[in-house]
Chains A and B, each alone.
Chain A
Amino acid sequence: MATKYTLPPLPYGYDALEPVISAQIMTIHHTKHHQTYINTLNNALASQAVATDKNDIVSQIHLQNTINFSAGGHINHTLFWENLVPASSPSAQTHVASKLMAAISARWGSLEKFQEKFNAVLLGLKGSGWGWLVQDTESGNLEIVTTKDQDIVPAGKKPLLGIDMWEHAYYLQYLNDKGSYAKKIWNVINWKKVEERFVGGSDSVFGTLAGLRSNM
Chain B
Amino acid sequence: MSATLLRTSTTARSALRAGASRRAAAMASMSFVRGKATLPDLPYDYGALEPSISGKIMELHHKNHHQTYVNSFNAASEQLAAAEQKQDIQAQIALQPLINFHGGGHVNHTLFWENLAPSKNGGGGEPTGKVKTAIETSYGDFASFKTKFNTALAGIQGSGWAWLVKDNETGQVQIRTYANQDPVVGKYTPLLGIDAWEHAYYLQYQNRKAEYFSAIWDVINWKAVEQRLK
Residues of A within 8 A of B (CB): 28, 32-33, 36, 65, 69, 126-129, 148-150, 166-168, 171-172, 175-176
Contact A172 B203 (CB under 8 A): yes
User: CB of B101 within 8 A of chain A?
Assistant: yes
**In the assembled complex, how far is the CB of residue A120 from the closest CB belonging to chain B, in whole angstroms?**
14
Contact flag A168-B198 (CB < 8 Å), given A126-B97, A176-B65: yes
Rounded to whole angstroms, the CA-CA distance of A14 and B180 in the bound complex is 30
Rounded to whole angstroms, the CA-CA distance of A193 and B119 in the bound complex is 52
Contact A36 B207 (CB under 8 A): yes
Categorize the interface residue count of chain B: 20 to 34
Contact A149 B199 (CB under 8 A): no
Residues of B within 8 A of A (CB): 60, 64-65, 68, 97, 101, 157-160, 179-181, 197-199, 202-203, 206-207
Rounded to whole angstroms, the CA-CA distance of A18 and B87 in the bound complex is 51
Contact A126 B181 (CB under 8 A): yes
**In the assembled complex, how far is the CB of residue B50 from the closest CB belonging to chain A, in whole angstroms?**
18
B residues less than 8 Å from A129 (CB atoms): 158
B residues less than 8 Å from A167 (CB atoms): 159, 197-199, 202
Contact B157 A69 (CB under 8 A): yes
Contact A127 B159 (CB under 8 A): yes
Rounded to whole angstroms, the CA-CA distance of A167 and B157 in the bound complex is 13
Rounded to whole angstroms, the CA-CA distance of A43 and B133 in the bound complex is 38
Rounded to whole angstroms, the CA-CA distance of A129 and B158 in the bound complex is 8
B residues less than 8 Å from A148 (CB atoms): 158
